[in-house]
Chains A and B, each alone.
Chain A
Amino acid sequence: MTHSDSSVRERLWPIAVAIGFTALVFFPIVLNRKDSFPLSTYPMFAVPRGNPELVKLVAVTSTGERVSVPPHLLGTNEVLQAKVQLNQAAQKGAKARRRYCETVAARVSRDSSLKWQELELSRSRFEPIGYFENGKKPLTVDVLARCKVGEGTPSRLKVRPMIDRLQNWFFSPVKATRLAVARILILGFCSAYVICGAPCCSNWQRCVV
């Protein structure tokens, strides 16, 4: 084997990898596949946006100011999760939307520092360019649900704290010794039951009869 043969072989693997991965990256666009992971055509900037819709939950303060309700009051710290949550709420029926609004209102009312009076779930349509040219106003606003803050909590809302309390109880930490002593008592009893029961009940059938 000459020196040049071995160097070709050494280069073969990197070249194969380069071609292989390049082909893979082109794979979605060649086959006209939808967006996926990890192979993608990255269509997020390619699709025309038009006038996008956005579902929002807005709080009205005592002075009439309108404030966006932050994600943590929707039950998540993730903005995108909050967005999905709001979209899901908006797709539901009027009753469910109202209930969702009241759920958040109950959470808001637990924070005494917030002086919000009303919550409003709405779907707004925006013209992205015009938004910055015309004082950040939406094209249209559809109010999907409204509810007062601190106007009483619907009964279903009590379920969540109950579940939380149940979880806290179930997973509350205890000392390792407590479980170990329970083990000694319970399994000790069971073992004694079997061991002491065995000699006098060598024939289990007869023992029972």
Chain B
Amino acid sequence: MLLGVCGLTGVCATLGIRYSWTAPVFATTLLWVTSYRNSWGMIFHTENLFVVHALVLACAPQAGRCLTFGAAPDARDAVGSDYGWPLRVLSIVTVATYFIAGIAKLQHAGLAWVMGHEIRTHIAYDALRKIELGSSHSPLGVALVPHEWVFAPLAMLTLAFELGAPLALLGGRLAVVWCFVCWLFHVNVLLLMLIVFPYPLIGFAYASFFALETPWALLERRFARPNRV
């Protein structure tokens, strides 16, 4: 029942239908559903970010003012800080998740984390656990574990991009570079541990950093019907 409400309100909120209440209902039920799912055995860190993003968007009813059914024709051309701050909050949340991950590494292992021993152990243990439990594991991760020298630069890069995450808030090229490095990091996680972070991997996690109206306009032009005025 709750799952149904979550799915239905999710579709409505995505389409901007009755957004001012479908978005909060969706975000709340999504939080409930994912919290429930994460309450049994292990926490799926793959879900944290998009749940928080959904909650942020639920606090911004103005997100449903255009690209929706029955919206005023000129609504999409509206410009204002009203439309900007939710995107900034999304970016701050995204950056913060990576930044605190970097801080946590320093807290738990100290600067020694950059030597790569911890990350090497994690990759090895992840593969071991999957092999022992009969699940699919990453052959690349297993192949790299004996080569100790690979992991120090990997660890350094990881920590640098995580602690340097706030730089992405400066926008421009820095944001683009950081988003790309972040995406590469998740590709790396996928290749070495076979763990899929779908939200960042398809790039939607970084949507708030980009001028999305430009590709949207291109898409609209591409798919616009010729007789459409």
The reply to whether B36 and A179 form a contact with Cβ atoms under 8 Å apart is no
* CB of A143 within 8 Å of the partner chain: no
Contacts of A25 in B (CB 8 A): none
A173 vs B10: C-alpha distance when bound (angstroms) = 27
The reply to whether B87 and A179 form a contact with Cβ atoms under 8 Å apart is yes
**Interface 1/0s, chain A 182-200, versus B by CB < 8 A?**
1111111111011100100
A181 vs B217: C-alpha distance when bound (angstroms) = 10
A102, chain B: closest CB distance, angstroms: 28
The reply to whether B213 and A171 form a contact with Cβ atoms under 8 Å apart is no
The interface on chain A, measured as residues whose beta carbon lies within 8 A of the other chain's beta carbons, has a size of 33
Contacts of B211 in A (CB 8 A): 178
- A177-B216, A183-B14, A190-B54 given; A195·B76 CB < 8 A: no
Contacts of B171 in A (CB 8 A): 169
A18 vs B41: C-alpha distance when bound (angstroms) = 75
* CB of A163 within 8 Å of the partner chain: no
The reply to whether B77 and A176 form a contact with Cβ atoms under 8 Å apart is yes
A43, chain B: closest CB distance, angstroms: 44
Q: Which of A169, A172, A190 contacts B50 (CB 8 A)?
A: A190
Contacts of B54 in A (CB 8 A): 186-187, 190
- A188-B14, A208-B37 given; A180·B84 CB < 8 A: no
- A181-B67, A194-B10, A204-B37 given; A174·B204 CB < 8 A: no
B25, chain A: closest CB distance, angstroms: 12
The reply to whether A191 and B7 form a contact with Cβ atoms under 8 Å apart is yes
A9, chain B: closest CB distance, angstroms: 50
B47, chain A: closest CB distance, angstroms: 8
CB-based nearest A residue for B65: A176
CB-based nearest B residue for A198: B3
Q: Which of A175, A187, A205 contacts B78 (CB 8 A)?
A: A175
Q: B6-24: which have CB < 8 Å to A?
A: 6-7, 10-11, 13-16, 19, 23
A208 vs B46: C-alpha distance when bound (angstroms) = 13
The reply to whether B81 and A173 form a contact with Cβ atoms under 8 Å apart is yes
A18, chain B: closest CB distance, angstroms: 49
B145, chain A: closest CB distance, angstroms: 26
* CB of B202 within 8 Å of the partner chain: yes
The reply to whether A191 and B66 form a contact with Cβ atoms under 8 Å apart is no
A177 vs B73: C-alpha distance when bound (angstroms) = 12
Q: A137-188: which have CB < 8 Å to B?
A: 169-188
Contacts of A205 in B (CB 8 A): 40
The reply to whether B79 and A176 form a contact with Cβ atoms under 8 Å apart is yes
Contacts of B47 in A (CB 8 A): 193
A205 vs B36: C-alpha distance when bound (angstroms) = 9
B97, chain A: closest CB distance, angstroms: 14
The reply to whether B77 and A187 form a contact with Cβ atoms under 8 Å apart is no
- A177-B212, A183-B57 given; A172·B84 CB < 8 A: yes
B16, chain A: closest CB distance, angstroms: 7
Question: Contact residues of B with A, CB < 8 Å?
Answer: 3, 6-7, 10-11, 13-16, 19, 23, 26, 30, 33, 36-37, 40-42, 44, 47, 50-51, 53-54, 57, 60, 62-68, 75-81, 83-88, 90, 169, 171, 198-199, 202, 204, 207-208, 211-213, 216-217
Jot down 26 A-B pairs with beta carbons below 8 A, ordered by A.
Answer: A170-B84, A171-B84, A171-B85, A172-B84, A173-B83, A176-B62, A176-B66, A177-B216, A179-B60, A180-B68, A181-B212, A182-B86, A185-B212, A186-B53, A186-B54, A186-B57, A189-B198, A190-B53, A191-B14, A194-B7, A195-B11, A198-B7, A204-B36, A208-B41, A208-B44, A209-B40
Q: 9 nearest interchain CB pairs? A: A191-B10, A181-B212, A180-B67, A177-B213, A171-B81, A174-B84, A183-B63, A176-B78, A187-B14
